[in-house]
A and B are shown apart, each in its own frame.
Chain A
Amino acid sequence: MSSSVHALKGMKPATLTHENAIEITGMNKWYGSFHVLRDINLTVKRGERVVICGPSGSGKSTLIRCINRLEEHQKGSIIVDGTELTADVKKIDEIRRDVGMVFQHFNLFPHLTILENLTLAPIWVKKMPKKEAEEIAMHYLTRVKIPEQASKFPGQLSGGQQQRVAIARSLCMSPKIMLFDEPTSALDPEMVKEVLDTMVTLAQEGMTMICVTHEMGFARQVASRVIFMDQGQIVEVNTPDEFFKNPQHERTKLFLSQILH
């Protein structure tokens, strides 16, 4: 990131105030009577990059969606940078402001231009002046390498471009933590790399990240830890090297043998 951009007012890189970015203790969640998350215990330290993988239906998306309260957990506690997630709407909003999320299907706002997609939250949530918000937006669009698309609508962009816009949109809120929910699964094969490159850059700059993904190359390259989930439980946690070379649990071995040919 160039130093001139840091001079922009709203662009002070956000830092976590606590050593533990996320602390999840004894967390359980049910959909009706279906026990979707079972006794999750997970601590993510400041600057850590955690990759979560596992078969579909294992609860990995649900887990990260609990961190910004898109899903509600019923038991246990989730503490994000020192603030515990409860039904308190003020705290939820506070945490959502600090936690960025990138979705599988981008979820850009189709009725707004790319620039408006990026400036909306800074203007309305952070009460930032429009001009400043636009400067920041253009900065992040440049970083994800599509500043020339600013005045287009999401529908006019390719999937890869849309996902990069979605990442930039989150970054405009200067989040302290980024959550990625299968960011490349809905992309055409040729577009996966451009999105992963953006994420790698972000990781190298020290962003605290949790990524649900099956991009094992990405996991090897940037992850501090890889978490394997199955049936709503954390089955195995390890460094990427050990995780891929030397999986311990039978389920992990089976999973890896299925996805690494």
Chain B
Amino acid sequence: MTDLMSSDIHFVRASVLEEQRPPTRLSGPLLWMRENLFSSWLNSLLTLVFVSGVAWVLPDLIHFTLVIPVWVAGSSKDCSAELLGHPVGACWGFVNAHFGYFLYGQYPDSERWRVDIYYGLEAFGIFWILYPKAPFKGAGLAFFFLVFPIVGFTLLSGMPSIGLRTVQTHFWGGFLVTIVISTVGIVASLPIGILLALGRRSAMPIARLVSVIMIEFVRGVPLITVLFMANVMFPLFVPDGWRPDSLLRVLVGVGLFSAAYMAEAVRGGLQAIPRGQYEAAQALGLGYWQMMIKIILPQALKIVIPNIVNNFIGLFKDTTLVAIVGIFDFLRTIQASLADPNWRSSTMPLAAYIFAALVYFIFCYGMASYSLAMERRLQTGNRH
């Protein structure tokens, strides 16, 4: 019996319709390609352009970096096509030979184990707080934000009383400096940024004014200017006897700079929270900080995870700018090594910069992937 005719005026359902499976679709790689890659002439064109582009670049790149490179070299002579009599690819020997310098800068050879421990502690701490299944999260946070900074600083700068030779910060360099600056920048910028964002939306005029001035002033000038100012002006504000360390000055500059950007990212999240959430929290008698910490910020920060991580990634890459005030970060150590007379060659920079790009990419892509995974994790069971 057909159930309902369009001409029926009266209809009462007599039986319940059973749930049915959706009609099966044909599948298979060829069909998938036709539906997804060649569905229209524009799509087909895009596919062809992309495939031919990859086919044009990729073989040469693989050939140069993986098939005919020189893995071990003592000087630029070992990588010279004229001297070897055959074409050579990337001179990874250069990276190999300077790897220690890239990793530790001028940090004294005999003390580099301290940097290794520092790297280990940081990796351990990051894993502890970021890996969702790791136990004792509270202890992990305490470790990363209290124990690690003190132990890490003591390790790196030394403490003669416990047998660690003092190593002044102008010996620090390479990847160590990049990691220290970006870690301090990231760790400091989030809380400061949150405070600035709350201040900017505060009902208290002074808090609002201070926040707005801070944010707009710092955002209104390039990082390089902030770094110069931190370098030149910061000493003017501290007592005469104390000459702040040059790395410390840069850390303050980078921290404030990224905090200003963080504040605007967080403010975006705060604005997205409906007024009803504030009202419900207030009606229950929650105070301002309870409301912010328990209700508003968890929701606001979740919304702006992509922006926050975007800032982290930007900060990580911006650390290269500290070279301008004379600090040898990772990229600067690579450039310095290229000036090494033993390694003078026109092909050397290619290998060096591919290596640098790869390292930066691994870290930035790592952060991006983690944030995507985090977004997906927080999405479950938490829909509005």
Report which A residues bind B (CB closer than 8 A).
Answer: 68, 70, 93, 96-97, 99-101, 103, 105, 107-111, 120-121, 124-125, 152-153, 155-156, 166, 169-170, 173
Asked if B381 lies at the interface with its beta carbon under 8 angstroms from chain A, I say yes
Shortest Cβ distance from residue B133 to the other chain A in the assembled complex, whole angstroms: 20
| Pairs of residues from A and B, 7 with the lowest C-beta to C-beta distance, nearest first | A107-B280, A155-B383, A107-B276, A121-B284, A101-B283, A97-B285, A96-B285
Q: How many residues of B contact A (CB 8 A)?
A: 22
- Give Cα A99 to B282, complex, Å: 11
How far, in angstroms, from A125 to B299 measured CA to CA in the complex? 20
Contacts of A120 in B (CB 8 A): 284, 286, 294-295
B2: CB under 8 A from chain A? no
Determine which of B276, B285, B302 lies in contact with A111 in the assembled complex, contact meaning CB atoms within 8 Å.
Answer: B302
Contacts of A99 in B (CB 8 A): 283
Find out whether the CB atom of A110 lies under 8 angstroms from the CB atom of B299: yes
Interface-centre pick from B281, B285, B290 (highest chain A CB count, 10 A): B285
Taking a contact as CB atoms under 8 Å apart, the answer to whether A70 and B282 are in contact is yes
Q: Answer whether residue B96 sits at the interface, using C-beta atoms and an 8 A cutoff.
A: no
Pair count A-B, CB < 8 A? 72
Q: How far is the CA of A100 from the CA of B285 in the complex (A)?
A: 9
Residues of A within 8 A of B282 (CB): 68, 70, 96
Give me 16 other A-B pairs in contact (C-beta within 8 A), A96-B284, A111-B382 excluded. Answer: A93-B287, A96-B282, A100-B283, A101-B283, A103-B276, A105-B276, A107-B276, A109-B280, A120-B284, A120-B294, A124-B294, A125-B284, A125-B290, A153-B383, A155-B382, A173-B284
Asked whether B279 lies within 8 Å of A103 as measured between CB atoms, the reply is: yes
Contact B285 A93 (CB under 8 A): yes
- State the CA gap A105–B274 with chains docked (Å): 11
Give the CA-CA distance A166 to B299 in the complex, in Å: 19
Which residues of chain B are within 8 angstroms of A105 by Cβ–Cβ distance? 276
CB distance from B106 to the nearest CB of A (A): 48
Instruction: Give, as a whole number of angstroms, the nearest-CB distance from A53 to chain B.
Output: 22
CA distance in complex: A169, B286 (Å)? 13
Question: Please, what's the 1-or-0 string for B189-203, where 1 marks a CB less than 8 Å from any CB in chain A?
Answer: 000000000000000
Which residues of A lie under 8 Å from residue B290 when comparing CB positions? 124-125
B277, CB-defined interface residue at 8 Å? yes
A155-B294 contact in complex given A103-B276, A120-B284, C-beta closer than 8 Å: no
Task: From the candidates A110, A166, A173, name the one contacting B285 in the complex (CB within 8 A).
Answer: A173
CB distance B285 to A70 under 8 Å? no
The complex places the Cα of A103 from the Cα of B274 at a distance, in Å, of: 13
Interface bits B266-306 vs A (CB < 8 Å: 1, else 0): 00000000101101111111110010001100110010000
B295 touches A109 (CB 8 A): yes
| Residue pair B299, A156 in contact (C-beta under 8 Å) | no
Docked complex: B223-251 residues within 8 A CB-CB of A: none
For A97, the chain B residues whose CB sits under 8 A away are 285
Is B384 positioned at the interface, with any CB of A under 8 Å from its CB? Answer: yes
B300 → chain A closest CB, angstroms? 10
| Bound: A218/B295 CA distance, A | 33
List of A residues within 8 angstroms of B295 by Cβ: 109, 120
**Complex-state Cα separation, A33 to B170, whole angstroms:** 63
Inter-chain contact B283/A68, CB cutoff 8 Å = yes
Could you tell me the distance in whole angstroms from the C-beta of B101 to the nearest C-beta in chain A?
Answer: 47
B65 CB, nearest partner CB in chain A, Å: 46
Q: B residues within 8 A CB of A166?
A: 280
CB pair B294 A107 closer than 8 Å: no
Q: Closest CB-CB distance, A48 to chain B, in whole Å?
A: 20
| Chain B positions within 8 Å of A155 at CB level | 381-384
- Tell me the bound Cα distance from A72 to B294 in angstroms: 25
A121–B384 contact, CB under 8 A? no
- Which residues does chain A contribute within 8 Å of B298, judged by CB atoms? 111
B196 to chain A, nearest CB (A): 23
A sample of 19 inter-chain contacts (CB < 8 A) reads: A68-B282, A93-B285, A96-B285, A97-B285, A99-B283, A100-B283, A101-B283, A103-B279, A110-B299, A110-B384, A111-B299, A121-B285, A125-B284, A125-B285, A125-B286, A153-B382, A166-B280, A170-B283, A173-B285
* Inter-subunit contact B283/A96 (CB<8 Å): yes
Which residues of chain B come closer than 8 Å to A125, judged between CB atoms? 284-287, 290
CB distance from A119 to the nearest CB of B (A): 11
B378 — nearest CB in chain A belongs to which residue? A111
Q: Is there an interface contact between A153 and B276, defined as CB atoms closer than 8 Å?
A: no
Assembly CA distance A170 to B383 (angstroms): 22
In the assembled complex, how far is the CB of residue B37 from the closest CB belonging to chain A, in whole angstroms?
A: 37
